[in-house]
Amino acid sequence: MKLQDGSVAHLRAGADIVYDMSAKVRKIRLISGQAVFEVAKDATRPFVVQSGDVYAQATGTVYSVNRIGATGGAIHVTEGSVLVWARDGRDQAVLLHQGGKLSLDPGPRAAVSRAPARPVAPEPVIAQISLDNTPIAAAAERFNRVNQTKIIITDPAIGEIKIVGLFRASEPDRFARAAAAVAGAELVYDKSSNVIKLK
């Protein structure tokens, strides 16, 4: 299926999409099945595919999206890079590069909790966390959501210091070392409790 912007959607058996091309954004809703998108380059209009409550955004690339249940989606990047997040957690987005895969299934919306979804079986070598003047405390929370090793900041002043960088989501220790260097903090790794402390 050729879309109005020149992009092409390859629909697998049983796939169904609805699309809306506006002056600011190109939005696709994957209702069911799997589709591969060859996105026409347009830096001014992001191309966003929504699968349930999962979003995958690019400006010009090739990637597939597979619907998972009522709220989830699985993304596989063939070419370029794609930003992936769940529900309103765009600030927790993970950047996937060529060959990267990520499955997210937020599940039903909780009445009270607004916690972002935890990635299901991500590719740790590919999935990355991009930080752009992000407070260390907020960045640590992002790593804590996807890793068993937890980062604890004992001094609130350290948590307020901002950091810039691109880190593998599966390497909280590397992020913690960089954060300690930026903040001039002491780094303590407690292997018995699987905790990294910044103080």
- Residue pLDDT, tens place only, 137-160: 999 998 888 888 899 999 999 999
Cα–Cα distance for residue pair 49/30, rounded to 1 Å: 7
Cα–Cα distance for residue pair 94/172, rounded to 1 Å: 14
- Residue 80, CA atoms < 13 Å, CB-side half-sphere: 17
Q: What is the pLDDT of residue 30?
A: 95
Average pLDDT over residues 82-105: 87
Q: Is the pLDDT of residue 24 over 60?
A: yes
Cα–Cα distance for residue pair 134/120, rounded to 1 Å: 25
More confident residue, 15 or 120: 15
Q: What tokens were used for 18?
A: 């609805």
pTM of the model: 0.56
Q: What is the pLDDT of residue 75?
A: 95
* Terminal alpha carbon distance of the chain: 55
Cα–Cα distance for residue pair 155/144, rounded to 1 Å: 17
Average pLDDT over residues 80-94: 87
Q: Is the pLDDT of residue 119 over 90?
A: no
Q: What is the pLDDT of residue 110?
A: 65
Q: What is the pLDDT of residue 114?
A: 54
Residue 176's contacts (CB-CB under 8 Å, 6 or more residues apart) are 140, 151, 187, 196, 198
Q: What is the pLDDT of residue 115?
A: 55
Cα–Cα distance for residue pair 81/96, rounded to 1 Å: 5
Q: What is the pLDDT of residue 124?
A: 38
Q: What tokens were used for 185?
A: 């903090």
Cα–Cα distance for residue pair 183/158, rounded to 1 Å: 6
Q: What is the pLDDT of residue 38?
A: 95
**Arithmetic mean of pLDDT over the chain:** 86
Q: What is the pLDDT of residue 88?
A: 83
Q: What is the pLDDT of residues 28-85, one digit of tens each?
A: 999 999 999 999 998 889 999 999 999 999 977 999 999 999 999 999 999 999 999 9
Residue 44's contacts (CB-CB under 8 Å, 6 or more residues apart) are none
| CB distance 86 to 117 below 8 Å | yes
Q: Is the pLDDT of residue 122 over 60?
A: no
| CB distance 100 to 126 below 8 Å | yes
